[in-house]
């Protein structure tokens, strides 16, 4: 017998987001994470076959996006796959999805804050500035979702301008013909391509933010599916252009070894101003991803608190701004703590582990929907589920080990909570 769902401890959120707002939030979530964080480790795994890894990641993301879109249309409420898993599969699958999302994305938020600081200030100031960024954007989120969308829109425009500069320079300044065709010391293999796809999947995960904010979108049954597919399509084109230009300018080996690939691409022009533009764009993209991630974690935490999978205190909605202010303030505090004590630049693999599990539950949930709610062929959900399992299995072993450990902690917490509740 499934567990009863606790009645909400708070009122509904306000539906204020338009189609454009939803697309922009998805773009802000994806562009900051992917372009400035995932391409170098993916190139180290796949070498000259980086584009093949990008195609695989994009296809799995598309399958997952169609499942998320049709589920969001049927369940237009906060929480995303946490809610879908509970409704379609039961409380435990829903909890695993929600826990994976909250923990993985909290680490990702810290990584984005550190990425912003790395481009914006000298190393000695990186952590204080990263913490200040988290505090500032957490406050913005608590002032209302329309402010979140407005700030994200500005940051996305700045990031896209910087990417346009980097792509133009990359195509106009190709690397010497002697550039190595593979990653340093590594042979390109199918396993490497799949590992590259798993790492690059981190760059596509932002469209989930649209679904997790489904309770705040106008006309959600129509808007959410369109916004998810539109945001994913735009980002796939942008990523393909960036990958082609970076490979052309640096070569696979140079891209794999770079700590700041697009800054290195800009440096091939020989002028100083492109590097400044790219640095500003990278900082803006990281902030865009950070603000959207904090908002998404807050909404999933709200949904989990409503069903007591997290403490009910987090289910409060601000009476004026109509946002889950307690959940977002708690998320901001945890992210600041992680930034202060850790270096999370290697967190991409762990984040991918959590996100892929999250979408595995989404695909399994979509398979149970009836014909009246199905917008896409069932085969896409099957392929998405298989793709998630394959990409998780090919992630770096350390990422898998950390992911399994964190999942075990979550399962133990819920088991104790249920036992105490009885």
CA-closest candidate to residue 70, choices 400, 384, 414: 384
- Determine, yes or no, domain membership for 122: yes
- Determine, yes or no, domain membership for 338: yes
pLDDT of residue 116: 85
- Determine, yes or no, domain membership for 3: no
**Lowest-pLDDT range of 23-32, 181-190, 317-326, 405-414:** 181-190
The model's confidence at residue 182, banded by pLDDT at 50, 70 and 90, is very low
Q: Which two tokens stand for residue 129?
A: 């500035």
Cα separation of 275 and 346, whole Å? 24
pLDDT of residue 97: 92
Neighbour-count burial of 7, counting CB atoms closer than 10 A to its CB (0-12 exposed, 13-18 middle, 19+ buried): exposed
- Determine, yes or no, domain membership for 2: no
Cα separation of 123 and 260, whole Å? 14
pLDDT in tens, 93-130: 999 998 998 888 887 888 888 888 877 888 788 889 99
334-342 average pLDDT score:
85
Maximal C-alpha separation, the chain:
69
CB-based contact 415:386 (threshold 8 Å): no
Cα separation of 270 and 246, whole Å? 16
- The CATH number linked to 380 is 1.20.1740.10
Beta bridge partners of 283: none
- Determine, yes or no, domain membership for 256: yes
Total of domains in the chain: 1
Q: For residue 83, count other CB atoms closer than 10 A to its CB.
A: 29
- Determine, yes or no, domain membership for 352: yes
Residue 346 predicted with pLDDT over 80: no
CB-based contact 261:255 (threshold 8 Å): yes
Q: How far apart are the first and last CA of the chain?
A: 15
283-294 average pLDDT score:
81
- Determine, yes or no, domain membership for 14: no
Cα separation of 327 and 314, whole Å? 5
- Determine, yes or no, domain membership for 205: yes
Residue 43 predicted with pLDDT over 60: yes
pLDDT in tens, 290-329: 887 888 788 778 888 888 888 888 888 877 777 788 888 9
Average pLDDT, the chain: 83
pLDDT of residue 212: 63
C-alpha dihedral, 341 to 343 to 349 to 354, nearest 10° = 20
Beta bridge partners of 78: 213
10-25 average pLDDT score:
76
The model's confidence at residue 8, banded by pLDDT at 50, 70 and 90, is very low
Range of the domain at 197: 19-421
CB-based contact 361:208 (threshold 8 Å): no
pTM score, whole prediction: 0.79
262-283 average pLDDT score:
88
- DSSP per residue, 7-74: PPSS-PPP--B-HHHHHHHHHHHHHHHHHTTTHHHHHHHHGGGHHHHHHHHHHHHHHHHHHHHHHHHH
């Amino acid at each position: 017998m499934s567990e009863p769902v606790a009645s909400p401890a708070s009122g509904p959120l306000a539906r204020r987001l338009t189609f454009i707002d939803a697309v922009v939030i998805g773009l802000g979530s994806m562009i900051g994470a992917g372009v400035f964080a995932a391409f170098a480790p993916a190139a180290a795994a796949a070498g000259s076959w980086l584009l093949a890894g990008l195609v695989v990641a994009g296809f799995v993301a598309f399958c997952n996006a169609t499942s998320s879109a049709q589920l969001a249309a049927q369940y237009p409420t906060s929480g995303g796959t946490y809610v879908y898993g509970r409704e379609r599969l039961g409380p435990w699958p829903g909890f695993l999805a929600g826990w994976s999302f909250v923990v993985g994305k909290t680490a990702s938020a810290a990584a984005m804050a550190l990425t912003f600081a790395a481009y914006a200030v000298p190393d000695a100031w990186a952590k204080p500035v990263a913490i200040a960024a988290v505090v500032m954007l957490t406050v913005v989120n608590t002032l209302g979702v329309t402010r979140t969308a407005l700030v994200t829109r500005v940051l996305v425009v700045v990031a896209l301008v910087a990417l346009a500069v980097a792509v133009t320079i990359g195509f106009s300044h190709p690397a010497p013909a002697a550039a190595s065709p593979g990653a340093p010391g590594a042979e390109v293999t199918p396993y490497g391509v799949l590992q590259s796809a798993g790492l690059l999947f981190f760059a596509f995960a932002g469209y989930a933010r649209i679904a997790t904010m489904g309770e705040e979108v106008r006309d959600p049954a129509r808007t959410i599916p369109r916004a998810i597919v539109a945001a994913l399509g735009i980002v796939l084109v942008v990523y393909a252009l960036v990958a082609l230009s970076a490979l052309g300018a640096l070569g696979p080996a140079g891209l794999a070894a770079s700590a700041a690939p697009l800054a290195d691409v800009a440096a091939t022009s020989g002028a100083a101003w492109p590097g400044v533009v790219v640095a500003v764009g990278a900082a803006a993209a990281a902030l865009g991803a950070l603000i959207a991630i904090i908002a998404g974690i807050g909404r999933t935490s709200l949904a989990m608190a409503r069903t007591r999978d997290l403490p009910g205190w987090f289910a409060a909605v601000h009476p004026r701004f109509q946002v889950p202010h307690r959940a977002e303030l708690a998320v901001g505090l945890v992210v600041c703590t992680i930034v202060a004590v850790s270096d999370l630049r290697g967190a991409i693999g762990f984040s991918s582990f959590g996100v892929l599990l999250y979408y595995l539950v989404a695909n399994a949930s979509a398979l149970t929907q009836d014909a009246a709610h199905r917008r896409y062929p069932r085969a896409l959900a099957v392929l998405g589920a298989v793709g998630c399992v394959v990409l998780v299995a090919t992630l770096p072993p350390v990422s898998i080990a950390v992911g399994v450990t964190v999942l075990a902690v979550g399962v133990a917490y819920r088991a104790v909570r249920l036992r105490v509740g009885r």
